[in-house]
Amino acid sequence: MLSTFKREAGYLSGMLRMLKSVKDVDAASNHLLADELEMRVDAFGPNIAFIEDEREWTYDQTEDYANRVAGWCESLGVVKGDTVAVFVRNRLEYVALWFGLSKRGVIPALINFQLAGQALAHCVNISDASHVVVDVDLIDSWKSAREHLDDGLTEWAAFGEVPKGHKRKMKSFDAALSDIVPNRPPKAVREGLTAGGQGMKMFTSGTTGLPKAAKVTHVRAQNYMRGLGAGAKAGPKDRMLLVLPLYHATGGLVGMGSVFSNGGACIIRPKFSASTFWDDAVQYGATMFTYVGELCRFLLSTPPHPLERDHKIEWIIGNGLRPEVWESFTARFNIPHVIEFYGATEGNVSLINLDGPVGAVGRVPSYLKWKFNIDIIRYDVETGENPRGSDGFALRADDDEVGEVIGEIREDDPRFRFDGYQTKEATQKKILRDVFKPGDAWFRTGDLMKRDGHGYYYFIDRVGDTFRWKAENVATNEVAGVLSGFEGVTQANVYGVEVPGYDGRAGMAALVSDTPPDLEKLKAYLDTELPHYARPVFLRLSDESETTSTFKFKKTNLVKAGFDPNRISEPVYYCDPQTGAYERVDAETFEKINSGAIRL
Residues 341-352: pLDDT tens digits?
998 777 889 999
Residues in the chain: 600
Residues 172-227: pLDDT tens digits?
999 999 999 999 999 999 999 999 999 999 987 655 567 888 889 999 999 999 99
Amino acid at position 28, single letter:
A
Strand partners, 342: 351
d(CA 6, CA 20): 21
Name the average pLDDT for the chain: 91
Which pLDDT belongs to residue 439? 95
Percentage of the chain exceeding pLDDT 90: 69
Is the pTM for the entire model greater than 0.95? no
Where does the pLDDT of residue 395 fall: very low under 50, low under 70, confident under 90, or very high at 90 and above?
very high
Amino acid at position 383, single letter:
T
E strand or H helix at 513, and its extent?
Answer: strand 506-513
Q: Which residues contact 6 (CB under 8 A, 6 or more apart)?
A: none
Where does the pLDDT of residue 26 fall: very low under 50, low under 70, confident under 90, or very high at 90 and above?
very high
d(CA 584, CA 575): 9
Where does the pLDDT of residue 549 fall: very low under 50, low under 70, confident under 90, or very high at 90 and above?
low
Where does the pLDDT of residue 53 fall: very low under 50, low under 70, confident under 90, or very high at 90 and above?
very high
Residues 563-576: pLDDT tens digits?
999 999 899 999 99
d(CA 206, CA 113): 14
| C-beta separation of 325 from 489 below 8 A | no
Q: Which of 138, 96, 98 is nearest to 120 (CA)?
A: 138
Q: Is the pLDDT of residue 551 over 60?
A: no
C-beta atoms surrounding 185 within 10 Å = 18
Residues 227-260: pLDDT tens digits?
999 999 999 999 999 999 999 999 999 999 999 9
**Number of alpha carbons in the 13 Å side-chain half-sphere of residue 582:** 23
Task: Please name each of the domains of the chain with its CATH number.
Answer: 2-361 (3.40.50.12780), 365-461 (2.30.38.10), 465-595 (3.30.300.30)
Amino acid at position 30, single letter:
N
Residues 88-146: pLDDT tens digits?
999 999 999 999 999 999 999 999 998 889 889 999 999 999 999 999 999 999 999 99
Q: Which of 320, 271, 267 is nearest to 291 (CA)?
A: 320
Coil, strand or helix: which one is 324? Answer: helix
